[in-house]
Amino acid sequence: MSKSRQLHQLITEREQKNGADGEEEEIEEVEEDFHHIPLPDFPGGAEIFEAAAKFCYGVKIDITAWNAAALRCAAEYLEMTEEFAEENLVSRTERFLAQSVFRSPRESVKALKSCEDLLPMAEDLGLVQRCVDSIATRPASADMSSLFGWPIKDGSSGRAADAKLPQSAAAALWNGIDTGIRRKNGLRSTAASAAAAVAVDSWFEDLAALSLPFYKRVISAMRAKDLNADVIEGSLISYAKRSIPGLSRSNRHHAAGTAAAASSGLLPSEAEQRELLETVITSLPQSKKKSSSSSSGLVTTRFLFGLLRTANILRAAEASRTALERRIASQLEHATLDDLLMPSYSYLVETLYDVDCVERIVGFFLEGLEERPATAAAAEEDADDDDEEEEAAGSSLCIDKNKLLVVGKLVDTYLSEIASDANLKPDKFCNLAVALPDHARMFDDGLYRSVDVYLKDNRGGEGEGVRGNGLPEADAGGVHARGAERAATAAGGGAGALLRAAAAAAGDRRDADGGGARGRGGGG
């Protein structure tokens, strides 16, 4: 034990104590007591102590990213410093950490994970912070063409369309995202691209294994280093899918395994999941407001809706849910009907789907479109009639118009789907239908189709026609779209007048049939 000051001191004290007792004891009892030296709160447990003991006896030990931090803490605990012996365990582990661990983000993640069981000593020795800095600094300093030292996926991989392009024009993709980099030296092999994708995903999985406190520190450090938003988003997605059961619909067939893990205590509690979810929501980089019709970043609209569903189930903070709804609204044109069909998880709401949430999201979407022209106008004034600025502003307005048309069609499809809900009140249906401006629809066929479905399912089985404030007579088949459009236009009320009249008519019939739904007076 010549390499450990602590062990040497403990053994010496025990020898002196046994020699000073002066009492005659049986030899077996003395030997048994002599060989038991307590080491309270020893870092790393018996396995690490065995490795440190072997090192003391000159036996070669393997130092890896998984045990380097534990051996460093053990060396500190046992006082295995250069002052007591040359090339001692403190210097050996520090050298290994500096040369082999802190130079690699993936190795640093492994070391950081091992530090979870070494607190508070790992924190006091600065191991935790050094691991966090390594994880955040290395990717931040890496070229986008070689994230984490791994090649980015080539855009030509598996795409017939790219085969028609010259090699110099091939786009470099990472997880399917165009990085803006164009290959100049030809295309890499499909095998290399696949290996790169696997390597990046593997690093994300390693990072997702961290505990929430450590993971929050890593994300904070990444944001402080102004790391590429795609890297942060990719990590957050991986961490959320791994830690929150049922978040990804594609993984819901693993429900049996999830239930078994929950019963064994392997999954986080509901409170822990709520904290984790709110952390992911607040850590997501702000959406990039580009004049582009394509979605930016890795955070897809489907994933955001999955987060929102989970937030509703876990009863996350209202601020987190509102932030998530605003983020969804910023890319609502990429949503699908399946995304909008969110079940209502509140006992106070009788409708099958959460219509209020969709109405709020549509409202946030419209707010974003209203802010864009004001920003464009201010930029145009600052540009002093710059032709390029004017062209950019015109392009932005054109894109906004296209987005509005896409969302208008989506809302009409959603209305047709929820119209058959017997608990959907007329005013709720009407408010969502008229939330969009008239120019959000090139044709009103989809809107009137949803009115048709709503009136059919809320007529209470009666077959007589419906009239009221511009709403044309509906025969047994319901409202005729073209006839409704002509009547509404002639009345000067537009689609809004027709919808309010339809809602009022449906509400009146509900009251007459004793359905309990209270219709609001139509406003032609």
Q: Which pLDDT score, from 0 to 100, does residue 147 have?
A: 46
Whether the CB-CB separation of 352 and 362 falls below 8 Å is answered with no
Residue 29, in any domain of the structure: yes
Q: Which is nearest to 211 in space by CA: 140, 109, 282? A: 109
| Buried b or exposed e, range 49-85, using 16+ CB within 10 angstroms | bebbbebbeeeeeebebebbbbbbbbbbbbbbbeebb
Token digits of residue 6: 């602590």
pLDDT band at 305 (very low <50, low <70, confident <90, very high): very high
Q: Which pLDDT score, from 0 to 100, does residue 203 have?
A: 77
Mean pLDDT, the chain, whole residue set:
74
The residues, any chain, with a CB within 8 Å of residue 314's CB and separated by 6 or more, are 270, 273, 274, 277
Q: How far is CA 395 from CA 330, 389, 392, 400, in A?
A: 18, 10, 5, 9
Average pLDDT (265-273) is 77
| pLDDT of 435 over the 80 cut | yes
Element (H, E) at 177: strand 177-182
How buried is 490 (Cβ within 10 angstroms: 0-12 exposed, 13-18 middle, 19+ buried)? exposed
Residue 309, in any domain of the structure: no
Residue 446, in any domain of the structure: no
| pLDDT of 468 over the 50 cut | no
Q: Which pLDDT score, from 0 to 100, does residue 453 have?
A: 86
Q: List, for residues 43-62, the tens digit of each pLDDT value.
A: 999 999 999 999 988 899 99
Residue 519, in any domain of the structure: no
Q: List, for residues 96-134, the tens digit of each pLDDT value.
A: 999 999 999 999 999 999 999 999 999 999 999 999 999
Helices (H), 251-317: 255-263, 270-283, 301-314
Q: Which pLDDT score, from 0 to 100, does residue 452 have?
A: 85
Compare 341 and 142 and report the one with higher pLDDT.
341
Q: Which pLDDT score, from 0 to 100, does residue 154 have?
A: 37
What percent of the chain has pLDDT above 70? Answer: 60
Q: Which is nearest to 128 in space by CA: 177, 69, 76, 187? A: 69
Q: Which pLDDT score, from 0 to 100, does residue 469 have?
A: 39
Task: Give the range of the structural domain holding residue 26, as residue numbers without chain letter.
Answer: 5-134
What percent of the chain has pLDDT above 90? Answer: 36
Residue 374, in any domain of the structure: no
pLDDT band at 253 (very low <50, low <70, confident <90, very high): very low
Domain count, the chain: 1
Q: How far is CA 238 from the centre of its chain?
A: 7
Q: List, for residues 283-293, the tens digit of each pLDDT value.
A: 888 765 544 44
Compare 480 and 60 and report the one with higher pLDDT.
60
pLDDT band at 328 (very low <50, low <70, confident <90, very high): very high
Compare 519 and 458 and report the one with higher pLDDT.
458
Q: List, for residues 439-459, the tens digit of each pLDDT value.
A: 888 888 888 888 888 888 765
| Buried b or exposed e, range 406-441, using 16+ CB within 10 angstroms | bbbbbbbebbbbbbebeebbbbbbbbbbbebeeebb
Element (H, E) at 39: none
Most confident by average pLDDT, 77-81, 374-378, 466-470: 77-81
Q: How far is CA 54 from CA 1, 224, 237, 466, in A?
A: 10, 42, 43, 91
Residue 439, in any domain of the structure: no
Q: Taking the chain, what is the end-to-end CA distance rounded to the nearest angstrom?
A: 94
Q: List, for residues 481-510, the tens digit of each pLDDT value.
A: 444 444 444 444 445 555 655 555 555 555
Residue 95, in any domain of the structure: yes
pLDDT band at 159 (very low <50, low <70, confident <90, very high): very low
Q: List, for residues 196-249, the tens digit of each pLDDT value.
A: 566 667 778 889 899 999 999 999 999 998 888 888 888 898 899 888 887 765
| pLDDT of 297 over the 60 cut | no
Q: Which is nearest to 505 in space by CA: 482, 523, 480? A: 523
The residues, any chain, with a CB within 8 Å of residue 278's CB and separated by 6 or more, are 316, 317, 320
Q: Which pLDDT score, from 0 to 100, does residue 502 have?
A: 56
Q: Which pLDDT score, from 0 to 100, does residue 407 have?
A: 95
| pLDDT of 360 over the 70 cut | yes
Residue 401, in any domain of the structure: no
Compare 184 and 299 and report the one with higher pLDDT.
299
Q: What angle do CA 150, 154, 155 make, to 5 degrees?
A: 145
Q: What angle do CA 522, 418, 433 make, to 5 degrees?
A: 40
Q: In this structure, is the dihedral angle defined by the CA atoms of residues 227, 229, 234 and 236, taken in order, positive or negative? A: positive
Q: How far is CA 37 from the centre of its chain?
A: 50
Q: How many CA atoms lie within 13 A of 54 on its CB side?
A: 12
